[in-house]
């Protein structure tokens, strides 16, 4: 009897140990260099994967190869959820080529395109044909993307913002009074699927290429999003996006700019992020040529100093809210302790 009781206890302890080990696994996020497009891979502690956008087509399959290589590095053999923020070449163009390299289970998007003509119609048809080989999830603001181990909330889609504040958000935003709108944007950029990814106390926002006025609608007159730990710069750091009214309200600790050497990272947008209250560091995928020495961060925080390399940036986040950022070019890492009070 004692032997049976002892064995059962051991089993319980072993199961508890396995559960604890699983609970301690981090959320890994890879910002892949696709030369001024977007490809952001998140791997949940459950092992499920979520990829936001797939970069450009062509270039001998350059971007699809880079994504597939990063997935292998992350121990991922398929993409469980592919979020296509919007239908521009640098975001959706690489989808067909990626699907030739690895399975994509579920395609997430905002629905039909709002742009038409020979080129945009051809681009959208190529995506539709690939999408038909998997499941399709059309999302609207307020929806969640059901990836195990994460809370991924859709905060913008199809040109509309989330209607109700997220948990803990909703405070009045004093920055709204000084906001100056820009011309209305009729393109796919304004339709971007924006998400907030939450893992325990860690939060990251990715708004695709959402433009200036639409960003305003998310945080004015009240900030419906709250604060985040990591802000992926909207629209690659172009100044059609990145309105201070939202960037400063998000109060990020770290920003990651998915710019190219000659795309994004414009001085005005760069300065808007850099001056955000409480920002500890800005990391860049590329040295922005047009920014010069005054509008680029120190080399330590830049993954690619020219256009001949393809290094990425990785974040490994714990559920307690702490996270580590690593530069793939030089191995430089910095750990950020959990933010107090969240």
Tens-digit pLDDT profile for residues 130-167:
999 999 999 999 999 999 999 999 999 999 999 999 99
Tell me the pLDDT of the chain averaged across its residues: 93
Q: Alpha helices of the chain — where are they, by DSSP H?
A: 2-24, 62-73, 89-92, 95-99, 118-131, 212-219, 244-250, 267-274
Query: Does any domain span residue 1?
Result: no
Does residue 6 belong to any structural domain of this protein? no
**Residue 309 placed within a domain:** yes
* Residues 6+ away with beta carbon under 8 Å from 68: 98, 101, 102
Res 275 pLDDT > 80: yes
pLDDT confidence of residue 340: 76
3-state secondary structure of 335: strand
> How many domains does the chain contain in total?
1
* CATH number, domain with residue 114: 3.60.15.10
Alpha helices in 132-224 (DSSP H): 212-219
What is the spatial distance between Cα 42 and Cα 7, in angstroms, rounded to a whole number? Answer: 39
Whether residue 81 has pLDDT greater than 60: yes
Using CA atoms, how far residue 189 sits from 71, 112, 176, 241, 255, in Å, is: 27, 13, 22, 10, 20
Q: pTM score, two decimals?
A: 0.92
C-alpha 82/C-alpha 40 separation (Å) is: 10
Mean pLDDT of 256-273: 96
Q: pLDDT band for 116, please (50, 70, 90 cuts).
A: very high
Number of helices (H), then strands (E), belonging to the chain: the values are: 8, 18
Please indicate, yes or no, if residue 119 is contained in any of the structural domains.
Answer: yes
Residue 268 forms part of a structural domain: yes
Q: Per residue in 208-223, is it b (16+ CB within 10 Å) or e — as a string?
A: bbbbbbbbbebbbeeb
10 falls within a domain: no
Task: Examine residue 310 and state whether it is found in any structural domain, yes or no.
Answer: yes
Assign 339 a pLDDT band (cuts: 50, 70, 90).
Answer: confident
- In tens, the pLDDT along 2-32 reads 444 444 444 444 444 444 544 589 999 999 9
Q: Round to whole Å and give the CA distance between 217 and 185.
A: 13
Question: What number is the average pLDDT over the span 168-178?
Answer: 97
Q: What is the pLDDT of residue 38?
A: 98
Q: What is the domain extent for residue 51?
A: 26-336
The answer to whether residue 16 is domain-embedded is no
Q: Say which residue, 79 or 20, is predicted with more confidence.
A: 79
Distances in Å between the Cα of 164 and the Cα atoms of 156, 170, 216, 217, 244 are 12, 8, 15, 12, 21
Give residue 23's pLDDT: 54
């Amino acid at each position: 009897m004692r032997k049976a009781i002892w064995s059962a206890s051991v089993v319980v302890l072993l199961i508890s140990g396995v559960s604890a080990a699983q609970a301690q696994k981090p959320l890994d996020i890879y910002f892949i260099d696709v030369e001024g497009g977007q490809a952001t891979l998140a791997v949940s502690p459950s092992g499920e994967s979520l990829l936001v956008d797939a970069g450009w087509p062509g270039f001998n399959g350059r971007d699809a190869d880079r994504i597939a290589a990063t997935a292998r590095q992350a121990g991922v053999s398929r993409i469980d959820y592919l979020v296509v923020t919007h239908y521009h070449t640098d975001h959706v163009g690489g989808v067909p080529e990626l699907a030739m390299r690895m399975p994509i289970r579920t395609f997430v998007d905002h629905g039909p395109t709002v742009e038409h003509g020979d080129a945009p119609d051809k681009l959208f048809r190529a995506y539709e044909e690939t999408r038909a080989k998997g499941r399709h999830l059309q999302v609207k603001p307020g929806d969640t993307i059901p990836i195990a181990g994460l809370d991924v909330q859709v905060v913008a889609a199809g040109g509309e913002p989330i209607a109700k504040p997220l948990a803990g958000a909703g405070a009045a935003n004093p920055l709204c009074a000084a906001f100056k709108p820009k011309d209305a944007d009729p393109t796919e950029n304004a339709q971007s699927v924006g998400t907030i990814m939450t893992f325990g106390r860690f939060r990251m926002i990715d708004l695709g290429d959402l433009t200036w006025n639409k960003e305003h609608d998310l945080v004015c007159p009240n900030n419906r999003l709250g604060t985040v730990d990591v802000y992926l710069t909207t629209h690659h750091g172009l100044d059609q996006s990145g309105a201070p009214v939202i960037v400063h309200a998000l109060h990020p600790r770290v920003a990651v700019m998915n710019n190219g050497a000659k795309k994004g990272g414009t001085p005005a947008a760069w300065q808007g992020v850099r001056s955000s209250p409480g920002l500890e560091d800005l990391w860049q995928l590329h040295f922005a040529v047009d920014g010069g020495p005054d509008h680029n961060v120190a080399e330590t925080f830049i993954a690619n100093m020219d256009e001949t390399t393809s290094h990425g940036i990785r974040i490994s986040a714990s559920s307690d809210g702490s996270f580590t950022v690593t530069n793939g070019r030089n191995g430089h890492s910095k750990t950020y302790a959990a933010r107090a009070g969240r």
